[in-house]
Structure 1
């Protein structure tokens, strides 16, 4: 049904029967570039897997500044955890950075799968743990790293995203101004 997604799950050790069950409840959707999957104030009711393209989770402040919390390229999961878990209005938007194909599951269906498929529950717990570690590293970087260190860390962790993202989005993700990011990149090129 969703062969690429099924291959992805098998690489994490899920047996064929479980993979087929998970895939059978997935729905698919295509998003255009800049199309919103979810807006601030909506309740997050789906788990989402990015098949192709890239999504971002972001917030826009009252003064119009955008703060990007996460990029989700192909073969990654995306949702607003707080809104999904508590079924409360979201504080963030989720939108397509580029044309994207996604799979998604309604909350009730995914929770049923987590009960029925113990391998999925274990996999989900591992994903949650990795996301907690990544979030902690982001917070520590935001609090103490210089713009140069933030950019170098981004380059090391996400080299495949550099050519896919506008500089303004990278600056927003790093929490620096576009002017600062341009200076950091220029200084880096001068050292090479």
Structure 2
């Protein structure tokens, strides 16, 4: 399977590139905004590099792709205008292009608490609203989607164990490496299709936690 990772130079996505390239039978096409980012991603294992900007035409990035992971994001600390352009409008563009290219499998890197933005911190509400609307668009798209919503992220080494449920209370933070491993495990697992779940650090091995979804 050729997996297109949108936002491949992001912190979670870089772990995902490496994991898919080393630990799975899938090839990785890394979508990035500038050519300068490509060499390091090739060293991480990306089989293909495609340069495309979510604020411009991206249709050429989907040729020969079997599955899409949307891991791009403006982050919660950017202004609302950039958040809308990337986390909402950019995500919708990617979903539409997947459908245009008859790509059915789509995995979204979301965010915990996006189902109820008003309950989140005021400084993050524009981000959570964009994530909520993007998730809803995906859920109604007809694509075979999985939405992975991690809680607070760290740069710690992968623990290999997590907690997954449709809804989780605030708990143990989770490393970006573990989030990437969960995303990788979901890609070809049909029991994760049409599912949305929260993700935190925990005690269940990742492969078992994904099987239990």
TM over 0.5: no
What TM-score comes out, normalization by structure 2 length?
0.26
Name the structure where helix makes up a greater proportion of residues: 1
What TM-score comes out, normalization by structure 1 length?
0.28
Bigger-Rg structure (1/2): 1
